Structure 1
Amino acid sequence: MKDNIIQNEDNFLSKTGPDEKLYEKGSILEETKNRLISRYGDSLANLTLERVVIGIFYTGVKLSNGASGICFTPIKEIPESVCCPSSAKAMPRAGRLKGMSVADTFDYLSQQAPIKRAIAIATLNALSEDIWSSNPKEGSELYSIVEGDDIFADINLETIKKAVVVGALIPVIKQLKEHKVPYRIAELDIRTLKSEELPFFVNQSDFPHEVSTADLVIISGTTLINDTLESILQLCNPDAYVIIIGPTATMLPESFFARNISMLAGNRVVEPDEILDVLVEGGSGYHFYGQSSLKVIIKKQKN
């Protein structure tokens, strides 16, 4: 999702009230970064990037403590990728990322270069993975982490009047079709949709209304990269069941849950070097799920 897919939401965004800061661009990543800094304390100063891979589909990092995380590679959002001199501006530290301080990657979160943000997000995921691996009971009062990818296990799909899928999440769309759930699709690149899906495509002007009237909203984690996630969440009905899906959003979930998200469906790396070897050779999720990584669901505990 690009910014222009939600450019007509002003009437909805005016209804922010005291929670306005919750929906500032980049606030989820900023809060999560600060939470991780607090958790690691002085030990963060000793952590560096041991390995970085920017693949066609995913970007991955391995930290000096052995933890690893991945993030979607936003190739389509890099206009510089068509020109070598311009590409150098997009990733000026190429060849010198190994040994970079983990703390220094946090600066990438506030920069517009998509590849830099992908590296920073992958690093947040790696830091989160290290916390979970070190303490399997981490966050158990707030959330649970279970292996699997059945995001609809706890949802009675027969009661859903309308679902909105933000991003061309093909497996999700397939499940909605199979369960005959009325759905709409918001996706920047309409070419990713099949001909039978085109009638359900949401144009820019209709996007705010469609999201605000849906009782199930499923959002691609790639919205974290282009800073559109908070704006989309602000449009959601408070009673809607909201799911963020994809490896990009596999990090400490507190800031997501504070914004009425019920579930993160992500990916935990279990074999760091193996998954990075796959990514460097152009591999996608089909090449590493169930082998060097596990699909997981991070679910908010019911009160």
Structure 2
Amino acid sequence: MSKILEQTLGQIYEILGSEIENLSVERVVFGLFFTGVKLSNGIAGVSYTPLKSLGSAVCCPSQADKMPLSGRLVGKNVKYFLQDIHSDKSLKKTLAIAVINALSQTCLQKNPNLHELEFDTDPFDKLDIKADSFSVIVGALVPYIKFMMKNGRDFRILELDKSVLKPDELKFYLPAQAASEVVSKADNLIITGTTLINDTLENLLAMKKTDANVVVVGPTVSMLPKAMFDRGVSYAGGVYVRDADALLDIIAEAGSGYHFFGKFANKITISAK
């Protein structure tokens, strides 16, 4: 059960109040890489699409409960989707998070002073990865892994699926079960936002040492960051959507961030301080 999502949702209700009663989902797209929604106020939200968690034969009747109600989603009030923040069905939860992210952007537009957004930035660049520091990267976050390797930094990669790593990256690999051994030693902790979907983010943050520098990054965490900051996150990096329909069109055509960043959406960084 995600306390982070619960707390974030509570903050959204506090900011938007009765406005939520009149907000519905106008469009839903599940792409190969991202899931996206557009609300009736024209604002969109995205999240990662966890395809690997679906297993096989998702089209058969026995798998139907894993899927959202295709063909019956458009027009439903946002609260219908928000009830799935604790779902053990990954696609339903992903859709709920995309709605939370759209609502979060609604909050940020309604109250621009809520957080200072740095556009077209990467939260990783906020970290000063010193030569004598130890870092842990949770997830196959390729640009950060490349930086560590190129600069000879001491680091490890925690990843559920070893096969996504390249041969020269495997020497840094540790299975997810090793988290308790290494996270507590990390000076720098860089975590993929998909940990919100599989309910591991809060445990990872609970393991960190007090003075660790922590980044959580990815489309899944394009939400109000207070709940993450309260748990020791230093920087949150997500997506701010500029053109909802154009972005969802790209997602529907199996597009990735490469296809829409700088055109229909921007990377954003929000700092805890």
1:193 aligns with 2:169: no
In the alignment of these two chains, the number of paired residues is: 273
1:160–1:215 Cα contact (<8 Å) kept? no
TM-score normalised according to structure 1 size: 0.86
1:215 pairs, out of 167, 187, 198, with 187
- CA shift at 1:154, angstroms? 3.6
Matched residue of 1:243: which SS? strand
CA distance in 1, matches of 2:251, 2:176: 33
Partner of 1:274: 246
1:31 paired to 2:7: yes
1:221 and 1:184 map into 2 onto residues whose CA distance is 18
Residue 256 (str. 1) matches residue 222 (str. 2): no
**CA deviation profile, 1:156-182 (whole Å, cap 9, x unmatched):** 222552110000000111122233221
Note if 1:95 corresponds to 2:71: yes
Contact 2:159 2:176 in 1 (8 A): no
> Cα gap change, 1:200/1:117 in structure 2, threshold over 3 Å: closer, same or farther?
same
Pairwise CA distance, 1:34? 1.1
Q: Aligned equivalents of 1:241 and 1:249: distance in 2?
A: 17
Structure 1 residues 137 and 115: CA distance shift in structure 2, 3 A: same
Shift of 1:103: 1.1
Q: Report matched runs for 1:28-107 at 5 Å.
A: 28-79=4-55, 81-107=57-83
- Relative to structure 2, which stretch is displaced further, 198-207 or 71-80? 198-207
- C-alpha separation in 2, matches of 1:162 and 1:37: 39
1:240 aligns with 2:216: no
- Spell out structure 1 runs of 4+ moving beyond 6 A: none
Find the residue that maps to 1:158 and give its secondary structure: coil
Distance (Å, rounded) in 2 between the aligned partners of 1:34 and 1:111:
17
Residue number in structure 2 paired with 1:156: 128
Does structure 1 retain, via aligned residues, the 8 Å contact 2:138–2:192? Answer: yes
Partner amino acid, structure 2, of 1:192: V
Give yes or no for contact 2:134–2:186 (8 Å, CA) kept in 1. yes
Q: Against the structure 1 CA distance between its residues 197 and 299, is the aligned structure 2 distance closer, same or farther, given a 3 Å change threshold?
A: same
Alpha-carbon distance, 1:214 to partner = 0.7
**How far does residue 204 in structure 1 lie from its aligned partner after superposition?**
4.2
For 1:293, the equivalent position in structure 2 comes to: 265
Q: For residue 244 of structure 1, report the CA deviation from its aligned partner.
A: 0.3
Could you tell me how far 1:233 is from its partner in structure 2?
0.8
Residue pair 1:80, 1:86 contacting (<8 A) in 2 also: no
Change (3 A) 1:186 1:266: same
Q: How many angstroms apart in 2 are the aligned matches of 1:130 and 1:153? A: 27
Structure-1 separation of matches of 2:194 and 2:124: 20
Q: What's the TM-score once normalised by structure 2's chain length?
A: 0.95
Whether contact under 8 Å (2:27, 2:39) holds in the other structure is: yes
- C-alpha change, 1:204 and 1:41, in structure 2 (3 Å) is closer
Hey, what does 2:84 align to over in structure 1? 108
Q: What residue number does 2:145 align with?
A: 173
RMSD: 1.5
Which ranges of structure 2 fall in alignment gaps of 5 or more residues? Answer: none
**Unpaired runs of at least 5, structure 1:** 1-24
Deviation (angstroms), 1:137? 1.9
Asked whether the 8 Å contact 1:62–1:68 carries over to 2, the reply is yes
1:37 is displaced (CA, Å) by 1.2
Cα distance in structure 2, aligned partners of 1:162 and 1:113:
35
SS of structure 2 residue aligned to 1:157: coil
2:107 to 120, 131, 134: 131
SS at structure 1 position matched to 2:83: helix
CA distance in structure 1 between the aligned counterparts of 2:58 and 2:79, rounded to whole angstroms: 31
CA offsets 1:244-269 (integer angstroms, 9 cap, x no match): 01011011111000000001111111
